[in-house]
Amino acid sequence: MMKKESAVILKILLETKTIDLDKLSLLVRKNKKQMWYELSVLNQYLVDCDLSPIEIKNGVLVIPEAEVNEWKTILVREKMDGFRLQQERIFILILYIACRQEFVSTYHLQDLVGLSRNSVMIDIRKLRKLINHYDVALHYDRKNGYKFTGNELKIRKLMEYALSKLNEVVPLDKVTTFFEEIWHVSFKIGELNDEILNLAKHYQLEFVMDRLEEFVYFFAFMKMRRKETPIPFAEHDKEILSQQRLYPMAVSLVKDIYHSKRYDEILFWETRLLSIIQGDKGDSKDNYFTQLTTSIIQNVQTMIGIKYKNVELIERTLYQHIVPAYFRIKFDVYYKNPLLDKIKTEYRDLFHLTKKGLQPLADELNKSISDNEIAYFTIHFGGYLYSNQEREKQKLRALAVCPNGISSSLIMNASLKSIFPEIEFVQEHSLNRAKMLPEDEYDIIFSTTFFPANKKLYLTKPILNPVEREVLREKVCADFDLLDRQKSIDLKKLIAIVERHGTIQYKDRLYTDLQAYLYGVGTDAYKGAKNLPDLLNETLIRVSSARMNWKEAIREAARPLLEQHYINESYIQAMIKSVEKIGPYIVLAPKVAVPHARPEEGVKKLGISLLKLDHPVDFNSEGEDDPERFVQLVFVLAAVDGQAHLSALVQLSKILDDEENIEQLIKLKEPLKIYQLIKQLVEQEGGTEHD
């Protein structure tokens, strides 16, 4: 059986046709020594399959063109076969026992996974350990065999989790085919999918297509389970669910397709439909979710220290995301974000700040928000944060299709624009609508999923690291003469040039550092990120014993930036107007405010100033009396773009998480000592990250 790493390398080679060994190492995150080992393993596998090994000529991997089709066949076969031998077989056991069609004994489980009794008992022990987290028990007796006992809702959540984990390693149609052969039944996935889509069309609803797939398969397995145990819902939840526009569709779904009239089943399937719907202003009580959306945007703007230009557009698209996310979190619907690890690596600072910015949603639901959900919000805000200005219409037009939801679509579009500034992009997050667009409106297609098209289609991801960006541009440039090729950087040649002019003491370290600088390996996506001590120096810190109102406090806090030509007077006015219009959203932590405005409203260069007040200043709106809004630390942020200051804000937010740190800063009387303490706290929290 092929190693997972070998399959990844093979897939990359099929997509690129030819690739530099250094770039391949970066793409698969292996060092040179590990890369040679993985290639030797892959080559041995190819030889065992009577195929030619991969050759390396002048540092470039060369694939035998005549065997490309055989390679593709190998990948398909490896993806479809042998999941019984993988760690994920425990999830097969969950579905098998939950939807059992007959008495299930240990012998049945042995036959199911094709293993010995001892191996099956090891799997059973692992299974019992896993289901403890769901308050579900695995019971066995001679009369009933193996069965799950416990709260029906939690058993269903366990099944959802199992399906989602399986979907990460094997196509779900393979899973259903496996069970169809065992149970001698037909899941009729195609018919179910069509029936659900027809219902959605009837009720004028639209789903996020990649999430719909798991819903359909889960629905099919639940039709096999069909337990009559009631599903508990709190009265408050019943009231919320009955008010949603989706409720009539849930009634039809349960009655016409699930063939049940039970009220709790209607509510359960409504929670699942709500979690995959593409949010719309008519989906719920409009005012409630509109206010929640506005609150989150204000909070995130405060956390990232920059105001968005087109807030109306962000409110509309974020609303579409918040509605399903709200119900996923509220009703504990598990969804694995396939981009999670990449987002936490490529957008580390923005992820951290977004997490803090989502506090209004966490407070509203009285629940913590999972990293999977935070990642979706991160790419949503990042899509606007990193998007470029509108450009003039160019010769090449591209259709960017990302049916994974509005957030992924935004970040993908921004990423593609930065890679191909000479291309005009038409963005679409609905696969069905993309297929309906007239082909004379675009020349090429970038998509996260394959679909038949007459124009050249490039498969891509919503988030690309620097190496993947370079590889994609090279592929497109090879096909279209209208685009200029970007000269590829050969690290070995670069180091050779350095050696001609001096002695390199640690060549391996230099190679690693150059990788980090040129390709962002092990760093944030943005290379110009600054640390807090870099932006806030002693000359930008003031201490005042004067008594003042909040407007005067903002003016005084901004004065060092104005005097040292970081900002214009217009920036101070913009900050004050922003608070007058929206309220004291700039109070980032108890006793701490971080006023800011948009870069174009008067910022000349990046900087942060601080005013420490001996006497607290009231930042409360009229009629409010929140003691946490009596501020003694005012940090003024002057950002030149949406990115360079993020690391500094992460460091500041970590300092402000501890109220003891805030009190220590307030007690100090001299700017130098305040600066020294801030620098010390940054180092204690993990040090500076972009030196």
Type of residue at 83? F
Type of residue at 574? A
What is the C-alpha separation between 652 and 307, in angstroms, rounded? 18
Secondary structure (3-state) at 212:
helix
What is the C-alpha separation between 361 and 354, in angstroms, rounded? 12
What is the C-alpha separation between 246 and 204, in angstroms, rounded? 10
User: Is 352 one of the annotated active-site residues of the chain?
Assistant: no
Question: End-to-end distance of the chain based on CA atoms, in angstroms?
Answer: 44
Question: Scanning the structure block, which residue is given the tokens 């293993």?
Answer: 115
Return the sign of the alpha-carbon dihedral for residues 266, 271, 277, 279.
positive
Helix or strand (DSSP H, E) at 472: helix 466-479
3-state helix, strand, coil in the chain (%, to 5): 55, 10, 30
Pairing of strands 423-428, 396-401: parallel
The number of C-alpha atoms within 13 Å of 384 and in the hemisphere containing its C-beta is 23
Integer CA distances (angstroms), 558 to 599, 600, 646, 675, in order: 14, 16, 19, 17
The number of C-alpha atoms within 13 Å of 10 and in the hemisphere containing its C-beta is 26
Residue 622 is classified by DSSP as T
Q: Residue 335: CB partners within 8 Å, gap ≥ 6?
A: 164, 211, 214, 275, 328, 372, 373
- The sheet carrying 396-401 orders its strands as 423-428, 396-401, 444-447, 456-459
Pairing of strands 137-141, 396-401: unpaired
Token reading at 33: 């020594």
What is the C-alpha separation between 122 and 414, in angstroms, rounded? 48
Question: Scanning the structure block, which residue is given the tokens 């949010």?
Answer: 279
Nearest to 12 by CA among 57, 54, 58: 54
What φ, ψ does residue 104 adopt, rounded to 5°? -115, 115
Instruction: Report the interhelical angle of 152-167 vs 89-98 (nearest 10°).
Output: 140
Rg (CA), the chain: 28
Residues belonging to the chain: 691
Adjacent-strand bridge partners of 631: 617
What is the C-alpha separation between 303 and 13, in angstroms, rounded? 41
Secondary structure (3-state) at 659:
helix
What is the C-alpha separation between 134 and 150, in angstroms, rounded? 9
Instruction: Say which of 501, 596, 615, 645 is annotated catalytic.
Output: 596
Token reading at 343: 């987002």
Nearest to 345 by CA among 578, 104, 547, 519: 519
Secondary structure (3-state) at 170:
coil
Residue pair 168/337 in contact (Cβ under 8 Å)? The answer is no
Type of residue at 607? G
Residue pair 329/213 in contact (Cβ under 8 Å)? The answer is no
Q: What angle do CA 325, 328, 333 make, to 5 degrees?
A: 150
Q: Give exposure, 114-125, as e/b (b: 16+ Cβ within 10 Å).
A: ebeeeebeebbe
667: exposed, middle or buried (Cβ count in 10 Å: 0-12, 13-18, 19+): exposed
**Catalytic residue list:** 596
